[in-house]
Amino acid sequence: MNGKQKNRGLSPVLRGVLADFGGVYFVNGLVAFIFAASGPVAIILAVGTRGGLAPSDLSSWIFGAFFVNGLISIAFCWFYRQPLVFFWTIPGAVLVGPALGHLSYAEVIGAFIATGILMLALGLSGWVRRAMEAVPMPIVMGMVAGVFLRFGLDLVFAVRDDFWIAAPMVAAFVAIGASQRLARLVPPLIGALAVGIITIVVLGKFAAAPQAVALAHPNLYVPAFSWRAMVELVVPLAITVLVVQNGQGITVLRSAGHAAPVDAVAAACGAGSIVTAFVGAVSTCLTGPVNAIISSSGDRRRHYAAGIFVGLLAVAFGLFAPFFTRLMLATPKAFIAALAGLAMLRVLQTAFAVSFRDRFALGALVTFLVTVADIPIFSIGAPFWGLVFGYGASRLLERSDFPARG
């Protein structure tokens, strides 16, 4: 009897969600998901292959990034009735690339878990806002600009090395972006993706043999905890999630009229990061671009339905991660490099603009130069030292900028 009563109580809720879905929310959700499953996935593949990860490692990473974070997204969108979609930190993924050159994957995973514990503690304590203000944003974005620069350069190299693959993608990106009307219908990155796929098929550059579609069998990793991995990755990863990614996502949602639960979001990122780490995925974050797309039009009270739809698509994508991973890895390297570079262009532009626009510009420059130099000190990677030296330079030479912070 109680079970029937629960079902009757749940049915109106389900009917309400279905009533709030459809039309513009379906389109926005689909476009947002395609964005997440194209350029950002290309970044994972670019970072992972450069770091020597096997296809099974990449498949497991993609499974965690989509399946686990998709479940978190569905739960938060449902409970808060807001478009709260979670994926993974792109700057954090980029940070991992150089670290894999001198750290084992097990050590990196140990750093993922430690980062998750730190973010969970901050979220539960209510100190997230203070943590977000600990390091000036221009200095943080100087680090982001430094680690993202290689993706912009790889885009240029892709055009040089495989012109007939990369150049049409760039041309499609520019042509669509130049037309506001066309860009509203088809995001430039998705247009570049479509043109790239067509070009690969026409030129016969697709290297995969036909394979059966199989469900994911994620790897379970045993973490290793080393001091050099903790020092190099934990603080920069936590900063990129709480300050860069979550800060962007929360700002996007506020501009659309949503009051995102900051501390609950941070706690969810921490818990999600701990779970996804065991299958090899980088830290969870509140996504900015995806939430921006699904909250860009329609009734504000119905945006959450598009978020649930994105979460469902993410769960499905994660379940078939091996198939999609093999598919992407079978494309030419220039395709991955061009797609990842185009996905990073606006982020790289924003990073430079925020870094050198106003206060803390010298500290941001020092951070950028140290990060780009990519010289580890005491076996600790350059992004961490970029933050240290950049903050130190601002403290010594830009003291007047600190009291002026709002």
Look at residue 56 in the predicted model and tell me its pLDDT. 92
Task: Name which of 136, 85, 86, 98 is nearest 239 in CA terms.
Answer: 136
- Residues facing 86 on adjacent strands: 286
Amino acid identity for residue 177 in this structure: G
CB 310, CB 85: distance < 8 Å:
yes
Tokens at residue 206, please?
A: 């697709």
Buried b (16+ CB within 10 A) or exposed e, 47-83: bbbebebeeebbbbbbbbbbbbbbbbbbebbbebbbb
Whole-number Å distance between alpha carbons of 31 and 37: 10
The per-residue pLDDT for 132 is 64
Tokens at 127, concatenated: 């100190």
Average pLDDT per 10 consecutive residues for the chain, totaling 406 residues = 47 69 79 82 88 92 96 95 92 87 93 95 82 75 82 90 93 90 81 90 75 79 93 88 81 81 93 96 90 80 91 94 83 84 79 87 93 78 83 90 64
| Residues in a beta bridge with 284 | 88
Token readout for 222 is 């045993």
CA distance 58 to 97: 13
**Cα–Cα dist 239/133, whole Å:** 10
Pairing of strands 86-88, 284-286: antiparallel
Within 10 A of 375 (CB to CB), how many other CB atoms are there? Answer: 10
Q: What is the pLDDT of residue 6?
A: 45
Q: Which residues pair with 356 in a beta bridge?
A: none
3-state DSSP: the chain helix, strand, coil percent, rounded to 5? Answer: 75, 0, 25
pLDDT at 157: 94
Could you give the C-alpha distances from 246 to 10, 251, 282, 303, 340, in angstroms and in order? 31, 8, 15, 18, 21
Query: Residue 286 is inside which H or E element, if any?
Result: strand 284-286
* pLDDT given for residue 129 in this prediction: 67
What is the Cβ-side half-sphere exposure of residue 104, based on CA atoms within 13 angstroms? 10
Report helix, strand or coil for 260: coil
Encoded amino acid at 101, one letter: G
Tell me the C-alpha distance between 262 and 243, whole Å: 11
The H or E element containing residue 285 is: strand 284-286
Structure token pair of residue 403: 């009291």
The most distant pair of C-alpha atoms in the chain lies apart, rounded to whole Å, by 72
**DSSP string of 63-98, one letter each residue:** HIIIIIHHHHHHHHHHHH-S---EEE-HHHHHHHHH
* Cα 228 to Cα 231: distance, rounded to the nearest angstrom: 5
